[in-house]
Amino acid sequence: MLLTDDQIKNAQPRYKEYELFDSHGLYIAIAPSGGNWWRLKYKCTGKDKRLSLGVYPEVGIEEANAEADVACKLIAQGLDPSAERKKQKVALIGEDDTLCVPCMTGPAPSAE
């Protein structure tokens, strides 16, 4: 059974995190704090893994399903979606050094 928007909106936080499953390993984790995170559960090299796909309602059901489909295609090719995401982040940072800026502005503290 596929999840509906109403089911997600009506899901109440509990003492412990729980999941509402959609399809093909896609689920939404309902946290005790009230946060709702889309995740994809999959196996790679014999290990259970999870990939975060965003926070509900910023990422809707259709978008989460689309991202899960992309990840499933990578898995079918024998690639780990989590490792591919890390490679993309490293490539992005390598191309644009403006992402790395110093935290402090002004003179450096003196060593006394």
Summarised one tens digit per residue, pLDDT across range 58-87 is 999 999 999 999 999 998 898 889 888 888
Rounded-to-integer distance, Cα 76 and Cα 44, Å: 10
* pLDDT value, residue 111: 60
**Residue 8 in this model has a pLDDT that exceeds 70:** yes
**Residue 102 in this model has a pLDDT that exceeds 70:** no
**What is the domain partition of the chain in residue ranges?**
5-95
* pLDDT value, residue 92: 78
Rounded-to-integer distance, Cα 83 and Cα 24, Å: 20
Q: Does domain 5-95 match CATH 3.90.320.10? A: no
**Residue 45 in this model has a pLDDT that exceeds 90:** no
Residue ranges with strand state E in 23-64: 26-30, 36-44, 47-56
More confident residue, 19 or 108: 19
